[in-house]
Structure 1
Amino acid sequence: MEHDMRLAKPTVTYHLFMYRAELARRNARQLRLSRTKIEITDELISKTVKNIKTCSMDDLKAVNRELIFKKKLRNNVSRLNKEAKRQQQEQQQQKPL
């Protein structure tokens, strides 16, 4: 039982807590914020999809918007990762040997 609890996926509530904690930081890290948003969106989508038989047309439209939002977030994370790698390479090149 204890082993199962450690393998459990974090809840939406936990992700919202982490998101708020990151926002409270003086220098919030955009990459971490975006990743947390992806996790929250993914969980909301999966909860809706589990109940797809009882979903209204408005629910389906909301899921579609969430999927589009998630795709934009993933593109943003990819862009932030590339920029961070580029900055790291520039810093390494500037260091004297």
Structure 2
Amino acid sequence: MESERMLRPTVSYHLFLYRLELARRNARQLRLSRTKIEITDELISKTVRNLKTCSMDDLKAVNRELLFKRKLRSNVSKLKKEARHRQPREENRPKQD
């Protein structure tokens, strides 16, 4: 389990990726949402590991984070579907030289 945790990127790294993507002129929403999911997941994991010392406010925050993560996953699946529908149309479009 320790080696698995060492292989996963840290929250700091995910925040770096998120800021990097935001700095792009045309930020990719799918990538932003995936990074948000990773950040939220790591925050939830940290809180759950310390569950014995959690206050009621901490538990409420975890619940909000879980709901947020669920919404993000739904958003990611919608973005993937849109990309799949958009891709065939772009392939059929005549190329401009």
Trace 1:7-86 onto structure 2 (pairs within 5 A).
Answer: 8-86=7-85
1: CA distance, partners of 2:66 / 2:26: 28
Normalised to the residue count of structure 1, the TM-score between the two structures is: 0.88
Query: Structure 1, unaligned stretches of length 5 or more?
Result: none
Normalised to the residue count of structure 2, the TM-score between the two structures is: 0.88
Give 2:47's aligned amino acid. T
1: CA distance, partners of 2:46 / 2:15: 16
Once the 2 structures are TM-superposed, how far is the Cα of residue 80 of structure 1 from its aligned partner? 0.2
1:53-80 CA-to-partner distances (Å, cap 9, x unmatched) read 1100000000000000000000000000
Once the 2 structures are TM-superposed, how far is the Cα of residue 95 of structure 1 from its aligned partner? 4.9
Once the 2 structures are TM-superposed, how far is the Cα of residue 43 of structure 1 from its aligned partner? 0.1
Task: Say how many residue pairs are matched.
Answer: 92
Query: What RMSD in Å do the two structures reach over aligned CA positions?
Result: 1.7
Once the 2 structures are TM-superposed, how far is the Cα of residue 93 of structure 1 from its aligned partner? 3.5
2: CA distance, partners of 1:53 / 1:95: 61
Give 1:28's aligned amino acid. A
2: CA distance, partners of 1:12 / 1:25: 20
How many percent of aligned residue pairs carry the same amino acid? 73
Q: Which shifted more, 35-44 or 82-91?
A: 82-91
Query: Structure 2, unaligned stretches of length 5 or more?
Result: none
Once the 2 structures are TM-superposed, how far is the Cα of residue 90 of structure 1 from its aligned partner? 1.6
